[in-house]
Copies of this chain bind each other. A is one copy, B any other.
Amino acid sequence: MGKKTVTIRDIAREAGVSPGTVSRAINNSPLVNPETRQRIIQVVKAFDYVPHRAAQRLSTGKTLTIAVIVPFFTTPSVTERLNGVVSTLAKTQYDLLIHNIEKPEQRANCFRTTPRRDRVDGVLVISISPTDEEVPLLAEADVPIVLIDAQHPDLKRLHQITVDDVAGGQAVTEYLIALGHTRIGFIGDPSDNPFNFTSSRDRASGYRRALTTAGIPYCPEYYAENPHGRREARESARKMLTLPERPTAIFAASDVQAVGVLEAARELGLRVPQDLSVVGYDDVEIAEILGLTTMRQMLFDSGQRGAELLLKTLENPETQPVHEVLPTELVIRDTTGPPPR
């Protein structure tokens, strides 16, 4: 099946015009006679002609491509954000390129090679906050960039869609305090991680701030950091829950980790919420299934808004960088209650 590609010259020859005219005709240039256009369109249809993408890109300088840089994209919360991006872009003619980051070196590599004018028209970055050294690199790339669930103080150059994780962490903790808890544990990701994830760190800040405000001393034994994961969280929870004076509530920095906490509780024979209250973060599907109390964030919407923002910027490059903060909402289910005794 040789099936040679039909080029714009074929169309031109067939329609009895020059390639330039064909190009103008299909790109809605006003500089072409309606009749001529009609004839050309006809030939295009007849030949099922579609312009060669690479050729278009090369000559226009536009790539019609948007890249999204995303870490561990099988994580449910990340997938949901990505979903927002994908469904928004599906309505446009932009192609979506996915770069999954699972190792720190991929991250560096990706930040260096992806945001280039000749590769993409714009970049979405999900959940990975660029470092101070990386920002100038990104800015220099001269490609519009939107951070989703990631941040950087340099608002002059980067669009940002975030959630106030400090406030969220604080709200969760205040809720637990209001229930009467004073021994409240926190289980999150490493504050200092090669990906520069910030959300867990920020939620921990909110946690501490709420404790301080309430006059509850911060107890390092009730604070644990682990590489993200259910198992890791379970181990931490187990340790924490076998302390001489165990916490009566645990706030996990994500639903995934909260599940680990629940598992640890089950193993230790602790009833939830009678013996232990557990709160997660994100409100992914599993939270609803397990009846987990959690802080809901608008995951899908964050992706959607980010994509929309990027599209708007592509249309109008003069758009000033925007920093949008999405709301959160505490969803109270079955894993929280007053402390025992």
Contact = CB atoms under 8 A, between A and B. Distances in A.
Chain A residues touching B, range:
35 or more
Interface string A267-309: 0000000000000000001100110000000000000000000
Contact of A142 (B1, B55, B58, B80): B1
B50 A58 contact: no
Contact of A58 (B1, B52, B98, B289): B52
Report how many copies the assembly holds.
Answer: 2
Interface string A76-100: 1001101100110010000111111
Nearest to A101: B90
B83 A79 contact: no
A139 interface: yes
A113 B140 CA distance: 35
A320 interface: no
A140 B3 contact: yes
Nearest to A63: B54
A118 B54 contact: yes
Contact of A102 (B55, B87, B96): B87
A46 to B, nearest CB: 15
Contacts of A57: 53-54, 57
A119 B53 contact: yes
Contacts of A73: 79, 83, 86
Contacts of A39: none
Given A3-B140, A73-B86, A139-B1, A52 B118 contact: yes
Given A1-B142, A79-B79, A140-B1, A86 B98 contact: yes
18 contacts: A1-B139, A1-B140, A3-B117, A3-B140, A5-B116, A50-B116, A50-B118, A53-B63, A54-B54, A54-B55, A54-B57, A54-B58, A54-B63, A74-B82, A79-B79, A96-B97, A259-B289, A289-B290
